[in-house]
Amino acid sequence: MTTKKPPIAIKKYANRRLYHTGTSTYVTLDDLAVMVKRGEDFVVSDAKTGDDITRSVLAQIIFEQEGKSGQNLLPVSFLRQLIGFYGDSMQSLVPTYLEHSIKALTENQQKFRDQFATTFPTFGLTEAQVAKNMDMFRQSLSLFNAFVPGGAAGIDPASGEQTAADKAEPEAAEDIDDLKRELSDLQRRLDKFAGK
């Protein structure tokens, strides 16, 4: 029979400093975020009153994470809806629903990662494959020179010279066919992923 370790006690002082009683050191909100990611359980209490303030400290960690560039997990529409539930008759159901939803996401995250990797294998492309795709894309764009003012099909508007796409027209046509096949295959995968 295994016994669960008691949560680590963190005390918050009036000067807003957080004290980790297990290591006898001061910690930051970033330190607490790392502890959460490692699965370490802790309880934060107000050093003066002894009140449990874990919820507000965790909310503060989320607020700080959301403020970092590229770290946004909570869409504005979700936040608005969440605020709308405060004081509503559904308020008591929301925490349980959110807890079950995030638990299901956590339990299935590896399945989602595997499915994503299978559905979108292009994220594992080598640099050579990316370069080839970019070349095909550039060649495809050069076919539209006829629609650029002062340009003609196969003529670079800046230099007036014949473009590489015009010089290698048969190769470009094959590349475009390859690109169409890849797009078609990707669309089939997306449809399958979306459950169509």
Residues 116-159 have pLDDT tens digits of: 777 766 555 555 666 676 666 666 555 554 444 444 445 454 44
Residue 118 lies in a domain: no
Residue 87 lies in a domain: no
9-13, 61-65, 137-141, 191-195, range with the lowest pLDDT: 137-141
Question: Which pLDDT tens digit goes with each residue over 40-98?
Answer: 999 999 999 999 999 999 999 999 888 887 778 888 888 899 899 999 888 889 899 88
Total of domains in the chain: 2
Give yes or no for residue 21 having a pLDDT over 90: yes
What's the pLDDT score for residue 133?
Answer: 66
CA dist list (Å): 102 to 7, 86, 107, 195: 21, 20, 9, 22
> What contacts 12, CB < 8 A, 6 or more positions away?
18, 19, 44, 45, 46, 47, 53, 57
Residue 84 lies in a domain: no
What's the pLDDT score for residue 25?
Answer: 94
Same-domain pairing of 6 and 67: yes
Dihedral sign for Cα atoms in the order 72, 75, 78, 79: positive
Of the three residues 77, 112, 136, the one that is the final residue of a domain is 77
* Most confident of the following: 34-43, 139-148, 160-169: 34-43
Degrees, nearest 5: CA angle 11-102-100: 100
Between these two residues, 132 and 11, which has the higher pLDDT value?
11
Residue 164 lies in a domain: yes
Residue 98 lies in a domain: no
Of the three residues 46, 77, 108, the one that is the final residue of a domain is 77
Of residues 84, 78, 70, the one with CA closest to residue 102: 78
In this structure, what token pair is assigned to residue 19? 């004290």
Same-domain pairing of 1 and 64: yes
Given pLDDT bands bounded at 50, 70 and 90, which one contains residue 176?
confident
Interval 26-53 mean pLDDT:
94
Same-domain pairing of 2 and 73: yes
Residue 105 lies in a domain: no
Could you give the CA distance from residue 145 to residue 163 in angstroms, rounded to a whole number? 10
Residue 111 lies in a domain: no
Q: What is the pTM of this model?
A: 0.54
12: left (phi over 0), alpha (psi -120 to 50) or beta: beta
Of the three residues 18, 42, 77, the one that is the final residue of a domain is 77
Domain that holds residue 54: 1-77
Residue 96 lies in a domain: no
